[in-house]
Chains A and B, each alone.
Chain A
Amino acid sequence: MIDIVLLSFLAVIALAIVRLRDLFAVVMLTGFYSLLSAALFVVLDAVDVAFTEAAVGAGIATILMLGTLGRIAGEPREHRERPWLPMLVVLITGGALLYGTLDMPHYGDPNAPVNLHVVPRYIEDSLAEIGVPNIVTSVLASYRGYDTLGETTVILTAAIGVMGLLQGRRRKTPGSKAPPASSNKRPRRASGVTGMLGNTMQHHLILHVIAKLLVPFILLFALYVQFHGDFGPGGGFQAGVIFAAGFILYGLIFGVNDAGLVASPATVRLLIAAGLLLYAGVGVATMLLGGQFLDYSVLSTEPIKGQHLGIMLIEFGVGTTVAATMVRLFYLFSR
């Protein structure tokens, strides 16, 4: 029942995003969309995913998109074409997906192929083989730990890509180009995220007090999610984004310059690389100790202790790279 409500909300928001012309409202709606998706993931018992979706989709991504809006400053040009061909492609794709569901096993069917082949071993043996109660963590960090190394590399790639695009590229200062024609609707936004939000927040006493109260708890919660990932939902990705969200909140309220005093862009860049190096370094260490790449069992005399140590280290590497990447992106977009 609750699925249907959530799904129909998602559909309504998606349609609204397509229809709306005001980019500011679109960005806000994508934030709602992510929050609702996160709720849906909770209903589906995928709490680990929900964590990330809530922090990234509803939090950081929204801020980065607002930052982009600030940089491009201006209203979208009116498009009055009728995109029939894209519509047709979308309909065919949707139709194909629906057609594909016809022979799918039912959700939660114990006899579905997914539940009969590799999953039983994960469920039955992971506690004995890896010693971590959270099976998601076992699969993510050990059985398929190499995928997670790849995903962390994707995060690093994104950071480097955006640095290549934005670093050193000065935005045109307002006034250097002809003023946009349609800037009369809304007062022209100042530059960047901080321009859009921060400057006006510098003097809000309530926001300052609330943020000062909240930020330590958010950071502490991030550390809890980081190190408790073995037992409950969580791990490096979730902890990284939550930590970054707390930090970005601080930057938004107190200004990027103050945030930069805590962690300078150069430090953050170092941390992006260091996290991935820690992860890959664990793999190299396991190779040198005579195991396969990322076989944590060789890290200690007892395989389970080795697994535990390996997982803790690589999760910390993931958390470092993810948090540093998010902060670095925030810095880049807010200049």
Chain B
Amino acid sequence: MIGAHLPALQVVVPLIAAPVCVLLRRPRLAWGLATLINWICFGVATALLARVLTEGSISYPLGGWAAPWGIEYRVDVVNAFVLVIVAGVSALVVLFARASVEKEIPAERIYLFYTLWLLCVTGLLGMAVTGDAFNLFVFLEISSLSSYALISLGPERRALTAAYRYLVMGTIGATFILIGIGLLYMMTGTLNMMDLARHLPAVAGTRTVIVAFGFLTVGISLKIALFPLHSWLPNAYTYAPSAVSALLAATATKVGVYMLLRFFFTIVGPYFSFEVMAEGGLLIAIALLATVFGSVVAIFQDNIKSMLAYSSIAQIGYMVLGISLVSVTGLTAGIVHLFNHALIKAGLFMAVGCLAFRLRAVTLQEIAGIGRYMPWTMAAFVVGGLSLIGVPLTVGFISKWYLVLGALERSWWPVAGIILFTSLLAVVYIWRVVEAAYFRTAPNRGHPTRFQEAPWSMLVPTWVVILANVYFGISPSFPIDIAQRAAQALLSPLP
């Protein structure tokens, strides 16, 4: 019986847990509930992925009303993969969060923190699993609102301005997406994604649909912080609580990119997106600019969290680049990078979270010589950094490999060149951290407890993610296989 309800349970379980968490109030209880629920979500997501891989896509009519009259949950390879990424990262980061949050957030607000965490996961999973365009917007609102609030709980006061800025930009993005969905509804009379895809070709040439497409593209680009609409991201990730930076960097933008894939490929169709609207050329240019801009600015950051945040802007560029190649290889690269970048950034932000647990600030000055005192943390950072650069035997290499292959398939040599060039830039900014941590002498530190390694409850989840970077770098067949199937599904015409 549970098997048939898996798509609904994926979202309903954390949704019900959130109000329960409000009632618990005790910090440890709230954390325990959040952990339990996150692991259940991860279990449901893997079960869904396994089912989709063997049986094909699953449809679940909510309220018992068949689509397009009711809302449909529709799970195929693409979103099952996204569900596993979101639920898996969240399950690992929430383990890491306990100690980190107790240090960074006042005890009386911790239960609110975990409630918001559950709501954020609810929103992200709900966006990924749904087959209804308006339902996607509703869960986008849940995930966005809870992200703003999570960021605002950051330990420094600047978290408030960062969250406010994200609120304004995010709301504009969400409004644009809503306008786009509204216009599409006006022209087709339906909100179901599959149904939209069937009805849109008849009205594809109308100015209303073209405008809808523009609003959706800009709105989603704002949400995923695609250059030049990225301005909210660096401060949001820098001043958020450490665990939130890890969660959002690894999941929120991924679901945003998934949204882009759904609208471009499933709803509007690759033909309209890339041939009629000539979106491809523009997106490639923007994506390349994003990779160069993000990587260059990252080099000049002294705060390690903002360095990683700017690097995220570059990484989003890679994903969009892969997508805008509109080939199986390119899409595979984009989708597999969703998975790989989630592992890379979750690992790196968790390592930085370990540093933040012991240090006053995670700046290059503060971490001078820290490699000797926090060997496990810094080793994790180095492995994660190598993966970010794209060194062989790490997942970063797999992404870059497929991306370069995709570019070469189209014999776009300059594009491949820029990918390699930005990887070199990544070497520079990762090296700055390594140099400060290992090759600079520690300043005279006041209190000996500050020299200690982070607690194991933070180190173990960090290392699990870091080792996953290596494991899936050495045997990448699992994510690659799924990404390839997802790419083929997105490019094939509708049944």
Contacts and interface: CB of A to CB of B under 8 A. Distances in A.
Interface residues of A, number: 60
A121 B153 CA distance: 47
Interface residues of B, number: 62
B189 A158 contact: no
B393 interface: no
Contacts of A283: 8, 12
A116 B195 CA distance: 14
Most buried by A among B15, B68, B152: B15
Interface in A136-176: 142-147, 149-151, 153-154, 156-158, 160-165, 167-168
Contacts of A145: 62-63
A245 interface: no
Given A101-B208, A284-B16, 19 more contacts: A103-B187, A103-B208, A104-B208, A117-B68, A119-B189, A142-B65, A143-B63, A143-B69, A144-B71, A157-B145, A160-B115, A167-B109, A168-B108, A274-B19, A280-B15, A292-B8, A292-B64, A295-B64, A295-B65
A281 B134 CA distance: 23
Contact of A156 (B18, B152, B160, B211): B18
A167 B149 contact: no
Interface in B1-50: 5, 8, 12, 15-16, 18-20, 22-23
Given A100-B183, A119-B189, A277 B70 contact: no
A254 B141 CA distance: 36
Contact of A113 (B18, B63, B148, B189): B189
Contact of A164 (B63, B116, B186, B208): B116
A113 B186 contact: yes
Interface string B83-126: 00000000000000000000000101100110110010010001
Nearest to A298: B64
Given A113-B187, A284-B16, A150 B211 contact: no
A321 to B, nearest CB: 9
A273 B141 contact: no
B19 A96 contact: no
Nearest to A321: B19
A103 B102 CA distance: 56
Interface string B130-143: 00001100110110
Contacts of A105: 186-187
B372 interface: no
A99 interface: yes
B161 to A, nearest CB: 13
B186 A157 contact: no
Interface of A: 96-97, 99-105, 112-119, 121-122, 142-147, 149-151, 153-154, 156-158, 160-165, 167-168, 269-270, 272-274, 276-277, 280-281, 283-284, 287, 291-297
A295 B209 CA distance: 34
A153 B183 contact: no
A292 B186 CA distance: 29
Nearest to B5: A287
Interface centre among A97, A158, A161 (most CB of B within 10 A): A161
Contacts of A116: 189
Given A168-B106, A291-B64, A295-B63, A122 B69 contact: yes
A121 B189 CA distance: 12
B243 to A, nearest CB: 15
A119 B145 CA distance: 31
B301 to A, nearest CB: 25
Contact of B146 (A151, A157, A287, A293): A157
19 contacts: A104-B187, A113-B187, A114-B186, A117-B189, A143-B70, A144-B70, A150-B138, A153-B18, A153-B119, A160-B18, A160-B146, A162-B149, A167-B108, A167-B109, A168-B109, A273-B19, A273-B23, A276-B15, A297-B64
Contacts of B186: 104-105, 112-114
B139 A293 contact: no
B5 A165 contact: no
A270 B64 contact: no
B302 to A, nearest CB: 28
Contacts of B62: 145-146, 292-294
Contacts of B171: none
Interface in B40-80: 60-65, 68-71
A280 B149 contact: no
Contacts of A153: 15, 18, 119, 122, 142
B142 to A, nearest CB: 5
Contacts of B183: 100
A210 B418 CA distance: 72
B264 interface: no
